[in-house]
Amino acid sequence: MAIQAMRLPQPDDAASVGSSAPDFDPEAAIGEQLRELRLIKNLTLKEVAEKAGISVGYLSQLERNHSRLPIGVLKKISDALGVHMNWFFQQKSDGDASERDIVVRANNRRSMSFTGLGITEELLSPNLSGPLELLISTIAPGADSEDYSHDGAEAGLVLAGTLELWVSGRHFTLQEGDSFSFKSTETHRCANPGSTATRVLWVITPPHY
């Protein structure tokens, strides 16, 4: 999934919104995790930036949570650091060991916020080793994703608010209760043109994060 209508400030090279449930910190930005992982792997800013195809200055801004972090850019940095994007989902707790391979409790969802983008993802799947991924996106008013594409297919249901969706140049405006489906290889993008948060349930196969 990739999440433009009122654009937020962008860095030269190229979220923090809460949800009603579960109780997690939407300010748990990815920047600190990027820096921590880079240092653990003993890599310099220049080495990671070159592998990811971005500037050193932009990567430094991302690590300090001073720039927007589009999903596509996170994918490139993840590849450069040798981890899957799901590494950045924050686990609240381990939960009940007898059920955590099947059940995800509302207060135990793993979450990920995209710095400056106004998007928070909550992972509803117990893990990402199966054939599909289930998640909820909360998109802040005016927030917008970059154009994006990847392998697989996806479908969604608008749970609340208004969603603008572009698929291979076609534009759709969806309201609560509307649903959609498309091949993820098609360039897609979505945005929240409204004044309240938009929440979307996504099903993606194969798992992308």
Residue 186 domain-assigned? yes
Residue 89 domain-assigned? yes
Mean pLDDT across the chain = 82
Query: What tens digit of pLDDT does each residue of 123-178 get?
Result: 899 877 789 999 999 999 999 987 888 889 999 999 999 999 999 999 999 999 99
The helix-helix angle for 71-81 and 31-40 (nearest 10°) equals: 20
Residue 1 domain-assigned? no
Identify the CATH number of the domain in which residue 122 sits.
2.60.120.10
Look at the chain and report how many structural domains it folds into: 1
Paired strand residues for 181: 155
- Residue of 207, 200, 189 lying closest to 3 (CA atoms): 189
Residue 24 domain-assigned? no
| Structure-block tokens of residue 191 | 């945005």
DSSP character string of 11-57:
-S-------SSS---TT--SHHHHHHHHHHTT--HHHHHHHHTS-HH
Q: Identify the domain containing residue 144 by its residue range.
A: 31-205
Residue 18 domain-assigned? no
| Structure-block tokens of residue 207 | 């798992």
Residue 29 to residue 22: CA distance in whole angstroms: 17
Residue 47 domain-assigned? yes
Query: What tens digit of pLDDT does each residue of 98-111 get?
Result: 898 899 999 888 88
What is the pTM assigned to this prediction?
A: 0.69
